Copies of this chain bind each other. A is one copy, B any other.
């Protein structure tokens, strides 16, 4: 990066619904095309205001992503089709179309590009912060990203990452409610990349899950497994989003992290990640996901732990105590936040199930 621009680059950490917009605009303003800069500034402002004014829920935005994806998928270039259909026999035409479809196979199977777009525009983290507000002392949420996938159930202590180049890491966690009581039987999805920075689903030739699992917390709220130390990696850059980031001089890296997703009846769904302290991208995550409370210091496994958990002494050790918020608590907080925000904006709406609708009374 040009050192003269260093003062323009904000510290992208602990972003909230109130400060995300100005920070995304500032990081985008490294772009040296004045017109594009202006368009992006207005786009981000309106996109974020739309989410804030509607209190857009995660489920609604997921439906929106689905709508946009379906819309893209059904598109075809009538000009091209028309030329083919006039120049070729139906069979040649079908083969030609087939060839076009096959060509990008390798890059096709790896991602949900609209999720990625939403991530790099700061919309994903904004929607998460609106829809899953967290009281103090509970675990904060962050972006889901496009790489969650179904995974096999493991037993506590199992190895989930098989990359031979990975540095083994023991992960010891607890799960509690906001009163400090252990939560038993929560379903926990965990996923991380291999040492090349790729998730298993990004490989078209990989047949078995790697770097991901599902585990359930035990009666003491404990869950544990053996993974590898995560590495920083670039978000996929082979598509339109990668080209956009390059054009506006934004790096595509995410700091080293492991994803965690918690589901348990009666508790607000928690999608989060743990980040490794002092990662070179800790304050410039391409998708704005880092929060101070989610940054951890790794330790080393000592001899007692080595014996107890069956992993070499000196391996990396990650520990964390997760805290889930109850549905009731979360929903009350969401309602209060929505009401306050919309009162401040002067909108004539009422809050129904945490979401505003026109108030016609």
Of A11-19, A82-90, A123-131, A169-177, which stretch is located at the interface?
A82-90
Given the known interface contacts A81-B201, A101-B101, the answer about A75 and B38 at a Cβ–Cβ threshold of 8 Å is: no
Given the known interface contacts A68-B68, A209-B86, the answer about A147 and B114 at a Cβ–Cβ threshold of 8 Å is: no
Q: With the chains together, A34 CA to B349 CA distance in Å?
A: 10
In the complex, what residues of B have CB within 8 A of residue A307's CB? none
Name the CB-closest residue of B to A46. B46
In the complex, what residues of B have CB within 8 A of residue A148's CB? 78-79
Pick the contact of A239: B74, B82, B85, B207 (CB < 8 A): B74
A208 within 8 A of B: yes
Contact A240 B43 (CB under 8 A): no
In the complex, what residues of B have CB within 8 A of residue A67's CB? 240, 244
Given the known interface contacts A78-B110, A149-B82, the answer about A50 and B43 at a Cβ–Cβ threshold of 8 Å is: yes
Of A272-280, A321-329, A351-359, which stretch is located at the interface?
A351-359
Given the known interface contacts A37-B358, A208-B86, the answer about A111 and B76 at a Cβ–Cβ threshold of 8 Å is: yes
In the complex, what residues of B have CB within 8 A of residue A113's CB? 70-72, 74-75
Contact A46 B38 (CB under 8 A): no
A49 within 8 A of B: yes
In the complex, what residues of B have CB within 8 A of residue A147's CB? 78
Can you list 18 A-B contacts (CB < 8 A)?
Answer: A38-B356, A39-B60, A42-B50, A46-B50, A67-B240, A67-B244, A68-B72, A70-B72, A73-B75, A74-B108, A74-B239, A76-B112, A77-B112, A78-B110, A78-B201, A79-B148, A82-B150, A90-B205
